[in-house]
Structure 1
């Protein structure tokens, strides 16, 4: 049996370069490794300052997507980045800023969270990642709070967009204080996604 001392003994590395592995479509087995108790409860429901952030995820034809996964991360209301541990083991009092929600059969997602505050004087937003069948990779976007109009106007990303595209990134505050924000993967009113 041959013995190899280093990788170059096994493989001719020559001048060849390796190409990255192609992206793989997500799903359909989201529950395996992604599911855990209270994953959508970034804060304990109905605790002081808590709000619901929810909406519907739509495909390019305008149909709701029943098996997407949305992840959010947001700052504290004071504008600091949370450092508490326990994003995967909810303890009903630590704010980690991170949450994950699967969409319902009607394509709806929902989080219990806190309103993020401005970090370094910048417009507050939730960082969002979308996973869905048919996507070769995850999609990154943001959900901005509708308040702080001066900060929204000064935001580099928002100010670089046309008004109709800008609107795809700003949530609507409902009379009960909750936030409504739909995510459209393609088509009319397609959400602006960020390249990473």
Structure 2
């Protein structure tokens, strides 16, 4: 029997073969209520990551998954400036959970994807009772909050440490 293949980090060409027709568009541009969720990915030194891939999965505005006409999934590579963006609808609460997007990040230097959640800063009442968000130390919860902008929300992802603006590493989940 031959030995197993050793672990290897993702990239730098991870996006080859991972693109798909809908890409970052959960909904069409003319969909009522369509918003953009945008951000930047940085590494542990605060340097942008130009070759990462972000995947999001979410409920529809009524808090349901797998509904006709709403896929709930998006995939977006970062550009040369580390930016990513998806066009979607703001999800509704799912049971006792506040409106959120599940977010996976694949990037060079990672052995496995990292998984986090994106909550909406303008949902303080729902966020205050979310059991997952409540399980995170209060001082770290801000790393999971997307801030409102004119056309949607902004959510940066920091893969490690502290960036040059003093933003802490995004909280990631293990499973």
Determine the C-alpha separation between the residues in 2 that align with 1:20 and 1:144: 39
1:77 aligns with 2:61: yes
Q: CA deviation at 1:20?
A: 8.4
Residue 31 of structure 1 is matched in structure 2 by 15
1:160 aligns with 2:135: yes
Pairing of 1:1-196 with structure 2 (within 5 A): 23-84=7-68, 94-174=69-149, 176-188=150-162, 189-196=168-175
Alignment RMSD (CA, Å): 1.9
Deviation above 6 Å: which 4+ runs of structure 1? Answer: none
Deviations 1:102-136 (A, max 9, x none): 00100000000010100114211000000000101
Q: CA deviation at 1:161?
A: 2.4
Q: TM-score, normalised by structure 2?
A: 0.89
Determine the C-alpha separation between the residues in 2 that align with 1:95 and 1:20: 41
Deviations 1:4-28 (A, max 9, x none): xxxxxxx8xxxxxxx9865431122
Determine the C-alpha separation between the residues in 1 that align with 2:15 and 2:139: 35
Determine the C-alpha separation between the residues in 2 that align with 1:195 and 1:183: 16
Shift of the 171–20 alpha-carbon distance from structure 1 to 2, 3 Å rule, reads farther
The number of aligned residues is 169
Structure with higher strand content: 2
Determine the C-alpha separation between the residues in 2 that align with 1:22 and 1:140: 23
Consecutive unaligned residues of structure 2, counting only runs of 5 or more, are 163-167
Structure of larger gyration radius:
1
Q: TM-score, normalised by structure 1?
A: 0.80
Determine the C-alpha separation between the residues in 2 that align with 1:98 and 1:20: 33
Determine the C-alpha separation between the residues in 2 that align with 1:156 and 1:24: 35
Contact 1:24 1:137 in 2 (8 A): no
Determine the C-alpha separation between the residues in 2 that align with 1:29 and 1:145: 32
Determine the C-alpha separation between the residues in 1 that align with 2:97 and 2:132: 11
Q: Which moved more, 1:183-192 or 1:153-162?
A: 153-162
